[in-house]
Structure formats: structure tokens, C-alpha cells
Structure 1
Amino acid sequence: MAPSLEKTIYIGAFVHSKSLQDLEICQKGAIGVGENGTIAFVERNVINPEALREREGWESAKTVRVGENGFFFPGFIDTHIHASQYPNAGIFGKSTLLDWLNTYTFPLESSLSSLTRAKQVYTRVVSRTLSHGTTTAAYYATVHVDSTNLLADICLSKGQRAFVGRVCMNTLSPDYYRDASVADGIRDSQACIDYIQRIDPSAELVAPIITPRFAPSCSAECLRALGALHRETGVRCQTHISENKPEIALVKELFPDSKSYADVYDAAGLLTPKMILAHAVHLTAEEVALIKARGAKISHCPASNTALTSGCAKVRELIENGITVGLGTDVSGGFSPSVLEMARQAIWVSRFVAMNDGDQAKLSTEEVLYLATRGGAKVVGLEDKVGGFEVGMDWDAQMIGLGAVPESGESNLEADDPVDIFGWESWDDRVAKWVYNGSDKSTVAVWVKGRLVHQTSRYER
């Protein structure tokens, strides 16, 4: 694991969600992070930052200051991303979901049986997501044990907090890319669970996650066996649900005795508080009630749902029904590995819904930032550790740096951040401009549990 860290005081503006609607913007703040990577103190309205060194034990603490137009923000949490599909990001053609799987996805995933190729892909996707401020990711890998374990190794070495899942599927996929039998699938899933728990026994950063691809790719016997594995191990689960209408019709055909798509998972013992359900675009009222009753969580993947014309999830209704929701990039159905981009897309999708259902369906800037951080933390069961800036929480954070426009209006646009700050904007305006215009160029540095895991040339220690 990572060596002991220096005590560090992070000085400057910080922004985080206090609740779904309440975004705290502290313009003159200071956050002290101890040698264990957790937050020791949070100060607001700091007049003299140097006086913080008078605290006992903090006399020799290192300081990190954010720029004038910048701020510290919690790390993003991607609750649904296919690491194995990253090379296909942006490649979805004219496909709908089921065609896209056969045309693009299965051939790519099957090629990652090569550890050389898997290392190339997984190293890049972990580095890329970190550069976008993603400090935690729930990853789908492939059916291959060795390359799935390699993904866990890479996440651990690069310091990204991650849930890594070996994909299980024994039907409705090409003969060249599926589990040979239910027994083989369970054996291989257990092997990945054992390996990941061995390399990070306390799950400080990396943990396994049971991953049935989705109901159409798994027989009822396979789902029941995975449900039993879930009960026996207590390991979290992730899968897909109700992404588009042809898929739902297929589930009804394949599982005629089930009351609904959600009931398929419930009957298998998989619909529990530790289950992450991606998409949930076309849930019935009965399914919403069942998911709420079981405590399962939902990953909203707006870019993917639009790209594959799956539909517009009604996130406001899910939230109002008491269901926990986070954001997922769903690379490569989604075109971008950026959770900030998903926050934008979530706003747009909610406005598409509002065109038919009324303005109450709209999500605000404050709400999507909550979904990207605290909401995501609840989805993956880490709400007591990450997602905000409170004493005792881990320092999973990103330094955001926004560009200052000089009086002349002229500057090196290639070197500048894409967010132009003219100086007269309120802090609410600055945050909004970042949400709508920011990119990985806005992310100056990233920390996970106090460890610096990404920095750009704009970061000054």
C-alpha cells in the first residue's frame, strides 16, 4: 500500500454538496489532511492561513494553495463504466443496444484475453479517468480472470479507488466469448474475488464486485448461482436493467414466469442494498417500488442512453420515490470518460423529460453535482468515506483551476483552461461555468485518500 503521507493543509476556496439541493461554496477555506489521508479539520472564513500552523502537531505541515479562480471539489464517482470498452468510446454508429453489443463490444472485449492488449487498454482508461477527476470507479472488465485481475492491479498501483468485476455470461453472446458453463463462471468469479481481496485485504482502495452482464446474457441458473455467491461472500453486485424497450421485451420472452425485469434479479437473490442497477430508463411503477423495497441503487447513464437512443430516464421520479441515484459514464455506450460531462448530460436529459412532463422534471446544477459525488458514494456504499469534505472522511479531491481572461482579451488559448472567467462572475456563476464548459484541462490535480494520483503542468506544489 501507499507509504505514510505528510500532514497537508489545503488552502483556498472549496465547494461540495451538503445535500441534494444545497451546494456549499466556501471562498476562504482550509482543510487539514492527516498522514492517514483523512480530513482532520475544516476551517471556513480563514483570515490568516499561516495561523493554522499554530495547531499542535501541524507546525511542519505542508501547504497546497488553489489559484484565485480555482477551488477544491470532491473526486467524482463513476458508478458504471466498462473499462474493457474504452477503445470504442465514441464509436457507436447507428446501432441500438443489442446490435451494438454484437458489432462493437463482444469482439473488443474478447480480444482482451491478451494480457499485453489488456494492459494497454486498462492502463489508459485508469489514467484517463483519473485525469478527469474520477477518484472512484465501478468497472466492468471481461470474462477473463487474468486480465480482470490485471485491471485490479493497475487501479491499485495508480491509486484509484475501484470496484472491479469479472463479467459473467453464459448465453446470448458469441460462442467465442462466454462462460463455458455456470460452474465455470462461478469458479472464475470466485477466483477474481479471492485475488482482489488478497492484494487489498482491507478494501482500502480496490474491491471485487459480482457482475452478471445483464439478464439476457445469463440463464436463470446462472443468476441464481451468482445470487448464492453474493450471499456467501457479501461482495457487491452490478448489472444492467431496463435500458431499452427491445431488451425488456427480450427479458420477458426469456423469463416468462417473472413478473418484470426487476423481478428476474429479485428471484435470483441479486436485488439487494449492495446491487447497482445501470440505466433504469423504462421501469414500471411496480419495479420502482420493488427496487426501493430491496434498497438497490441506480446508476444514471445519460450520454449512453441518448447515444444508443435507449430513452430518457426520469431521474426526478426515481429520487422522489426514495431511490439512491448516481452517475455513470457507461463507456463505451457513453462517448466520454468524464463524469463532469455526465453531469451536463444529466441536465439535458432531464430537460428532454421536462418538455413532456413539466418543469418539475428538470435537474439543477446543484443536483447533478450531488449525484456525481455524494449520490455516487451512496450507490457504491462509500458515503461515510468519500463524496464530501467533513472531518473523518478521506481526502478524495480534485483541484479545479479556471482561466482568468486578461484585460486585453488576448492569451494563449491552447494553454488556457476552457472556462473563461472575466472577474465579475459570482462564485455560483463560476461553478456553473465549470459544469457547462469545463474539461479535464480544468482538473489541475487529483488526490485519492491523500495521495496525489494525477497532476498537470499547472499544479504548483
Structure 2
Amino acid sequence: MEAIMLELNELEYLHNAAVCVDRLGKIVAVETDCNQQKAIETVYTRLGWSLDNVSVTLARAGQFFFPGFVDTHIHASQYPNVGVFGKSTLLDWLNKYTFPMEASLSSLPKAHRVYTRCIRQTLAHGTTTAAYYATIDVNATNLLADLCYSMGQRAFVGRVCMDHLGPEYYIDESPDQALAATRATIEHIRGLDSGFEIVSPILTPRFAPACSAETMRGLSELQKQTQLPMQTHISENANEIELVKELFPDSKSYANVYDTYGILNEKMILAHAVHLTEEEADLIAERKTKVAHCPVSNSALSSGVARVRWLLEKGIQVGLGTDVSGGYSPSILEAARQAKLVSNHLAMPGGRSDNLPQEERDKSKLSVDEVLYLATKGGAQVVGLADKIGAFQVGMQWDAQLVDLGAVPAEVAEDDFTIDGSVDIFGWEEWDECIAKWVFNGDSRNTKKVWVQGRLVHQQT
């Protein structure tokens, strides 16, 4: 088979390799220079496997196995609004589109329809792990967890807390109610998946303006008790930052608000981080807090361009998020290509880049290899699963996708209208060129099979 491993600056190609996965979905052997006959004669014997009990999936010419994508920031409850922005920026968009949609999912039949489609679409795009925001409704949040578990997607499911700022029809009654509802979802998920192996709760204060000081303090205490991960937003939009200054006049910065109330720690995932100051980035690095980079949403809502290289060089772990529905696509591959493109903007003259040191501008561009790292191993680090997913190594879980790049026939008839996908491989490309074509042209049609912990959870028919 063909398989690909990732480091930040390079891809490692495993040609003619065998990855052996046990019944629990764990990788127990990675054998290079290994055809099927060698696997049968040596590897299976060493593992004590019988050929009768082994299922084999081969990557044919033009196919390769790739680690599953990790979406570090996605609002499942906003999925019906993908591509809908109007003329809004962040705060207006929340009131016009987002809050009404989220509130409507208190209808469980509607929530079931929305969440099922969201999970199915993300799996079809190769997302094996997702950090989801649900809604303030406990039952709808629990339903999202149930569906992720039954459909086999590895997920972090967060019941959204917002008791300070929001429309009257969609807001928590009090800090006590917000925390009690959060505990209820935690216990529901514990009953579903006691070890949080596939589905885990994630504490979810929406963002600083939406939460009272009491709620943030309460979530901090709950996080210390449970050691659960946490997620929120930071510095996405200039108007949002001004609002934080108004609401928290005694805080030095947006990041300082979270730090003051004890939720800026190594378990926290901060989405966006577009307009961080030097001091904020240093504080985030010191607290070992992670960042979900959402380039599609940042562009779609005119929020700005995050300085990913700058964050990485400060030692901050970064992954990619689709930020559906601020982002218009549930595809992490789309997020990867946009991460590459928007990083180029920081190197261009004009706009925000002119305010950056020339040295930073010159090295700000991300490579194809780097954005694929952010989409997999980087994302695994952000969600706290770097020891389980994101690579094909012994002891890790088989969270993977089988990718197919369509080969253009040697002879193409003029009246042949068959188009199997948007990636055309002519046969003379090197592997790195094939991967670049996939990143810039690929979509869900290229994702033939998807596994989570060894379970086949998506297959094109």
C-alpha cells in the first residue's frame, strides 16, 4: 500500500508498506518494503494472525492512506447555514443567522436531521475527529453526542454556555443553570462512553462577552475537578475585541480575561486568535493553551488573517478548524488550502503585512506539507490526542482515510463526458506534486473510505 506520514516540514511516503491493525483498532505493526505475500508469510505469523481472520484493504494505483483529519473548531448546530453570510460581520451575523438557527434545534427532530447530515458530511470529507459546539439545549447536545457515537466519529461535544449576552429567547438563565446543564451533558456522555474513548464532553463558554464572571469561574472549577478539555473563541474580530474592552475594563487584554477567571490553560482550545498582541501570544504560550486556526471563516466574515507561523514559533500548538458555519465548508482539506493561501497574504505588500517586520513577512508562508500537518498531527495535539491519532505509528489508533486520485486515461475520447473528480493525475507527476494537486483541487469525491479506531465509518458506493 501507499501511506503518508507527517512532520511539520515534510511528508514521509511509505511505499509498498503494510499497516496492521488489531480488532481494537490499534496499529500493532508497520512493515515497509512489504507486499501481500510477505505480509502473509512473515508479519501475520509474527503477530499470531490467521489469514482466515484478516481483512485486507489494498491501495491500488493512484490511491494512498492518509491520517484522518482533525477539525478543532466546528459548530454542528450551524451546519444548515453554511455559505450564508449576507452582508454581515461577526456580531451582526450571530444575531441574524446563528442564534435563531441554534435556538430552533430545541426541536429534536430538526436537531436529528441537522446533526446527522453534519456528521455524515464531515466523515465524507475525511474528518475522523471533530471538536463540536452544540447549543445551550441539553437534550439537543446529548443527541449530538449520541449520533457521533453511533455513527463512529471521534468527537468532543460541548454544551454552549452563555448567560450574559445573547437574545432573550436564547440565553442561560443564570450561572448556576449554565453549570448544572453542563454537568448534565457530562453525565449523559459518561453513560454513553464511560472512558470518553470515542465521544468526550468539552466545556464550552461561548466567548468572553457571552459569559458572566461567575460562569467562567464555575467552569474553571469544573475543569479542575473533571480534567475535561475546554473550548472558546478569542480575538476573531475587531468589534468583538472592543466589546470585550467595554465589558471587562479592568482586564489588560482579551486573553487576560480568560486568564483572570482560570480558563486559560493547557486544556483550552482558542478559536481564531487573529488579532492577538505580542503579550497575549506570550501569555497563551506560557499557559500552553492551543489555537484552532479557521482561515475560511476568517476570510468569509472579513475578520482578518491569523499569523500562524508567528504562533508556532512561540511554541503554541495550532490545528485547523472549519468553523462551520462561519466557514462555508465542512472540509478540513478546504481549510488546509485556505490556510496555505491566506498565509501568502502576510508575505504580500499592502494591508496588514506592511505592519509586520520584513523577516516575519518573508517566512510567514505555509507550505503544503505544513498545512497538512496542521490538519492531522497538529490537530491531534490541539485536542489532546497526539499519542492516539494523527499518524501511522505502532500503538496509535487507526483513524485513517483512503484517498483516490483519478488517473486520466492514456487516450481520452472527445465525446467522453465522464468526470470522476476534480483531481487529474496524468502519470508523470512526482508524489509531492500529486499531493499538492489533491490539496488544491480535491474534495469528498476523492475520499473513498474512512476509519475511526479501526471501524469503517464511511465508504463511497
User: Where on the TM-score scale, by shorter chain, does this alignment land: which range?
Assistant: over 0.9
Out of 314, 318, 322, the position equivalent to 2:315 is 322
Does residue 390 (structure 1) correspond to residue 403 (structure 2)? The answer is: no
Tell me the distance in 2 between the aligned counterparts of 1:415 and 1:362: 33
The aligned counterpart of 1:421 is 425
Out of 421, 436, 442, the position equivalent to 1:438 is 442
Give me the TM-score of the superposition, normalised by structure 1.
0.95
Tell me the distance in 1 between the aligned counterparts of 2:279 and 2:428: 50
Does residue 408 (structure 1) correspond to residue 411 (structure 2)? The answer is: yes
Deviation at 1:418, TM superposition (A): 1.6
The aligned counterpart of 2:30 is 42
Q: Which runs of structure 2 are paired with 1:58-77 in the superposition (5 Å)?
A: 58-60=49-51, 61-77=54-70
Q: Secondary structure at the match of 1:262?
A: helix
CA gap 1:14/1:225 in 2 versus in 1, 3 angstroms: same
- Specify the code of the residue in structure 1 equivalent to 2:388: K
Q: Which runs of structure 2 are paired with 1:250-399 in the superposition (5 Å)?
A: 250-355=243-348, 356=353, 357=356, 358-399=361-402
- Runs (4+) of structure 1 exceeding 3 A deviation are 410-415
Tell me the distance in 2 between the aligned counterparts of 1:154 and 1:192: 14
Tell me the distance in 2 between the aligned counterparts of 1:412 and 1:220: 64
The aligned counterpart of 2:11 is 23
Q: Secondary structure at the match of 1:420?
A: coil
Tell me the distance in 2 between the aligned counterparts of 1:317 and 1:453: 37
Deviation at 1:45, TM superposition (A): 2.1
Tell me the distance in 2 between the aligned counterparts of 1:20 and 1:197: 35
Q: Secondary structure at the match of 2:5?
A: strand
The aligned counterpart of 2:127 is 134
Tell me the distance in 2 between the aligned counterparts of 1:336 and 1:49: 38
More displaced, 264-273 or 348-357?
Answer: 348-357
The Cα offsets for residues 388-410 of structure 1, whole Å up to 9 and x where unpaired, read as 00001000000000101012234
How big is the alpha-carbon RMSD for the aligned residues of Structure 1 and Structure 2? 1.1
Tell me the distance in 1 between the aligned counterparts of 2:86 and 2:3: 40
Tell me the distance in 2 between the aligned counterparts of 1:135 and 1:417: 22
More displaced, 231-240 or 370-379?
Answer: 231-240
Deviation at 1:226, TM superposition (A): 1.3
The Cα offsets for residues 21-41 of structure 1, whole Å up to 9 and x where unpaired, read as 021012221111111111111
Q: Secondary structure at the match of 1:163?
A: strand
Q: Which runs of structure 2 are paired with 1:81-120 in the superposition (5 Å)?
A: 81-120=74-113
The Cα offsets for residues 354-409 of structure 1, whole Å up to 9 and x where unpaired, read as 11353310000000000000000000000000000000100000000010101223
- Specify the code of the residue in structure 2 equivalent to 1:431: I
Deviation at 1:412, TM superposition (A): 5.9
- Specify the code of the residue in structure 2 equivalent to 1:40: V
Unaligned runs of 5+ in 1: 1-11
- Specify the code of the residue in structure 2 equivalent to 1:184: Q
Tell me the distance in 2 between the aligned counterparts of 1:36 and 1:231: 31
Q: Secondary structure at the match of 2:202?
A: strand
CA gap 1:359/1:183 in 2 versus in 1, 3 angstroms: same
Q: Secondary structure at the match of 2:266?
A: coil
Q: Secondary structure at the match of 2:189?
A: helix
Tell me the distance in 2 between the aligned counterparts of 1:414 and 1:422: 16
The aligned counterpart of 1:5 is none
Deviation at 1:417, TM superposition (A): 2.5
User: Does the CA contact (< 8 Å) of 1:52 and 1:58 recur in 2?
Assistant: no
The aligned counterpart of 1:155 is 148
Tell me the distance in 2 between the aligned counterparts of 1:413 and 1:151: 40
Give me the TM-score of the superposition, normalised by structure 2.
0.95
Deviation at 1:416, TM superposition (A): 1.0
The aligned counterpart of 1:219 is 212
The aligned counterpart of 2:3 is 14
Q: Secondary structure at the match of 1:164?
A: strand
Q: Secondary structure at the match of 2:257?
A: helix
Deviation at 1:420, TM superposition (A): 0.5
The Cα offsets for residues 292-323 of structure 1, whole Å up to 9 and x where unpaired, read as 11110000000000000000000000000100
- Specify the code of the residue in structure 2 equivalent to 1:449: Q
CA gap 1:99/1:393 in 2 versus in 1, 3 angstroms: same
Tell me the distance in 1 between the aligned counterparts of 2:404 and 2:265: 40
Out of 20, 29, 49, the position equivalent to 1:32 is 20
Deviation at 1:414, TM superposition (A): 5.0
